[in-house]
Structure 1
Amino acid sequence: MAKVLHSAPRYATNDGVRDTLVSALGDIAVDAREEFGEISITVKREGIEDALRLLRDEHDYQQLMEIAGADYPSRPERFEVVYMLLSLTKNHRIMVKLSTDEATPVPTVTTLWPVAGWLEREVFDMYGVTFDGNTDLRRILTDYGFEGHPFRKDFPLTGYTELRYSEEEKRVVYEPVELAQDFRSFDFTSPWEGADYVLPGDEKADAPPVDEPKTTGSPKQTGAGAKADEKAAKTVSAGSPAEKETGTKDAGAPEATENQPDREPSKGDVHDTKGATEPEDKE
Structure 2
Amino acid sequence: MDDNLKDLGEHISAAEPHAVQKWEITHDELTLHVVREQIPSVLKFLRDDSQCRFETLVDICGVDFPSRRERFEVVYHFLSMRLNQRIRVKTTTDEDTPVPSVMDIFPAAQWFEREALDMYGILFAGNDDLRRLLTDYGFEGYPLRKDFPLTGYVEVRYDELEKRVVYEPVKLVQEYRNFDFLSPWEGAQAIIPGDEKAENGAG
Note the C-alpha offset of 1:74: 1.2
1:177 to 170, 180, 183: 170
Question: How many Å separate the matches in 2 of 1:127 and 1:137?
Answer: 13
Query: Could you say which residue in structure 2 is the equivalent of 1:127?
Result: 120
For 1:189 and 1:97, the matched residues in 2 are separated by 50
Is 1:27 the equivalent of 2:15?
A: no
SS at match of 2:103: coil
State which of 57, 80, 85 in structure 1 corresponds to 2:48.
57
Q: Does 1:89 align with 2:82?
A: yes
One-letter amino acid matched to 1:151: L
| 2:18 counterpart letter in structure 1 | D
TM-score calculated relative to the size of structure 1? 0.59
Seen in structure 2, the aligned counterparts of structure 1 residues 73 and 189 have a Cα distance that, compared at 3 Å, is closer
Identify the residue that residue 162 of structure 1 maps to in structure 2. 155
Which one has a larger percent strand, Structure 1 or Structure 2? 2
2:196 match:
none
Which residue is equivalent to 2:201?
none
| Matching residue of 2:183 | none
Unaligned segments of structure 2, at least 5 residues:
177-188, 192-203
Match of 1:75 in 2: 68
C-alpha distance in structure 2 between counterparts of 1:180 and 1:68, whole Å: 35
> Which structure's CA Rg is the greater one?
1
Q: What does 1:1-283 align with in structure 2 at a 5 Å threshold?
A: 13-58=4-49, 59-180=52-173
Give 2:197's aligned residue.
none
Compute the TM-score of the two structures, normalised by the length of structure 2. 0.81
- Separation in 2, partners of 1:189, 1:21: 62
CA deviations on 1:119-159 (whole Å, 9 max, x unpaired) are: 00110011100111111111111111011001111112222
Runs of 4+ in 1 over 4 A off after TM superposition: none
Greater displacement, 93-102 / 162-171: 162-171
Residues matched between the structures, number: 175
The AA in structure 2 aligned to 1:82 is V
Q: Which amino acid aligns with 1:74?
A: S
**Equivalent residue of 2:16, what SS?**
helix
Q: Give the letter for the 1:44 counterpart.
A: V
Quote the sequence identity (%).
Answer: 51
CA distance in 2, matches of 1:15, 1:108: 28
Deviations 1:199-258 (Å, cap 9, x if unpaired)?
A: xxxxxxxxxxxxxxxxxxxxxxxxxxxxxxxxxxxxxxxxxxxxxxxxxxxxxxxxxxxx
- Output the amino acid matched with 2:79: L
Q: Distance in 2 between matches of 1:167 and 1:47?
A: 53
2: CA distance, partners of 1:13 / 1:171: 59
